[in-house]
């Protein structure tokens, strides 16, 4: 990614997400990523977590009306080009975002965050059904393997299972689906579903445990590129996947556990990615 020489004046992106005080994931990762792309970031906080690279110690969901008041305050004043959701916490808050999204005149990217990389739950049990209700408002939904199984109720054992699950998300109303399938045969695999076709996108798998925030950064790069006016979703997603590979490669082992991916722009791209 090139360092932006100036901010694009009207490139405003909104994240509706949880706070990660370690700065690796959640709204902190989103805002850092927006900033790196020269995109102005606004943020509505849904939950406060107490966590570090070793694990999540506490999760406190903010009252839904406080989430909505933040959203109203931002939208009464600013015109985002695009918004994304991260960890939303409760079914009540997801339903409230769904209700509010009826009047969004910009695309919404739904990253259906359910658990942290340590396996700690970040949503209540009834959130899955609420996420299904939100899908008709999603321009793009970005589930990982676990979230795809939860949202569809399909155990993903074969490629056919994955195709059926992606199909089901389209049926539930999501315009585009980006399934983050994880590591397959030494590669990291993503599948972009348009409703008409599924395109597999492979990227290099790096041998590191420092992947905290990778999902947040992926959906934030996509959001930032849309805020910058890019419209070719396949190219946007290819670029975002590549950017996350660079972020994972450049991770600096901050902390004692699963460290965050690198959100700063570093000069060196890994040789393995330049071909």
Nearer to ligand PLP, 8 or 145 (CB): 145
By CB under 6 A, residue 214 contacts ligand PLP? yes
By CB under 6 A, residue 84 contacts ligand PLP? no
Among 80, 86, 112, 259, binds ligand PLP (CB under 6 A): 86
By CB under 6 A, residue 212 contacts ligand PLP? yes
By CB under 6 A, residue 244 contacts ligand PLP? no
Nearer to ligand PLP, 92 or 147 (CB): 147
By CB under 6 A, residue 49 contacts ligand PLP? yes
Nearer to ligand PLP, 79 or 208 (CB): 208
Among 32, 84, 98, 117, binds ligand PLP (CB under 6 A): 117
By CB under 6 A, residue 113 contacts ligand PLP? yes
CB 182 within 8 A of CB 145: yes
Closest approach of ligand PLP to the CB of residue 36, in Å: 16
Among 12, 13, 14, 25, binds ligand PLP (CB under 6 A): 25
By CB under 6 A, residue 20 contacts ligand PLP? yes
What residues are paired with 110 via a beta bridge? 85, 141
Smallest Cα–Cα separation from 188: which of 163, 166, 214, 168? 214
Neighbours of 150 (CB within 10 A): 19
Nearer to ligand PLP, 74 or 216 (CB): 216
Closest approach of ligand PLP to the CB of residue 20, in Å: 4
Nearer to ligand PLP, 7 or 253 (CB): 253
By CB under 6 A, residue 89 contacts ligand PLP? no
CB 236 within 8 A of CB 222: yes
Closest approach of ligand PLP to the CB of residue 18, in Å: 3
Neighbours of 187 (CB within 10 A): 14
Please give the residues from 50 up to 69 whose contact with ligand PLP meets the rule CB under 6 A.
51
Where does this chain bind ligand PLP (CB under 6 A)? 17-18, 20, 25-26, 49, 51, 86-87, 113, 116-117, 122, 212-216
């Amino acid at each position: 990614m090139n360092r932006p020489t100036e901010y694009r004046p009207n490139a405003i992106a909104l994240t509706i997400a949880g706070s990660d005080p370690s700065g690796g994931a959640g709204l902190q990762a989103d805002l850092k990523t927006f900033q790196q792309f020269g995109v102005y970031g606004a943020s509505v906080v849904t939950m406060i977590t107490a966590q570090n690279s070793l694990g999540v110690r506490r999760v406190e969901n903010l009252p839904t009306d406080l989430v909505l008041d933040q959203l109203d305050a931002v939208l009464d004043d600013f015109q985002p080009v695009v918004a994304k959701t991260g960890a939303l916490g409760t079914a009540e808050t997801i339903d409230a975002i769904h209700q509010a999204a009826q009047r969004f005149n910009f695309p919404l990217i739904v990253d259906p965050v359910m658990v942290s990389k340590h396996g700690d739950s970040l949503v209540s049990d009834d959130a899955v059904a609420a996420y299904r209700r939100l899908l008709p408002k999603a321009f793009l939904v970005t589930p990982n393997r676990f979230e795809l199984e939860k949202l569809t109720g399909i155990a993903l054992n074969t490629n056919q299972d994955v195709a059926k699950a992606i199909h089901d998300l389209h049926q539930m109303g999501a315009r585009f689906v980006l399934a983050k399938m994880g590591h397959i045969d030494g590669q990291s695999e993503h599948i972009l579903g348009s409703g008409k076709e599924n395109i597999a996108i492979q990227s290099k798998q790096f041998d590191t445990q420092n992947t905290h925030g990778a999902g947040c950064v992926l959906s934030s790069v996509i959001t930032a590129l849309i805020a910058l006016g890019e419209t070719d979703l396949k190219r946007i997603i290819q670029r975002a996947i590549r950017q996350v590979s660079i972020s994972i490669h450049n991770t600096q082992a901050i902390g004692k556990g699963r460290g965050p991916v690198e959100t700063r722009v570093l000069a060196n791209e890994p040789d393995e990615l330049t071909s």
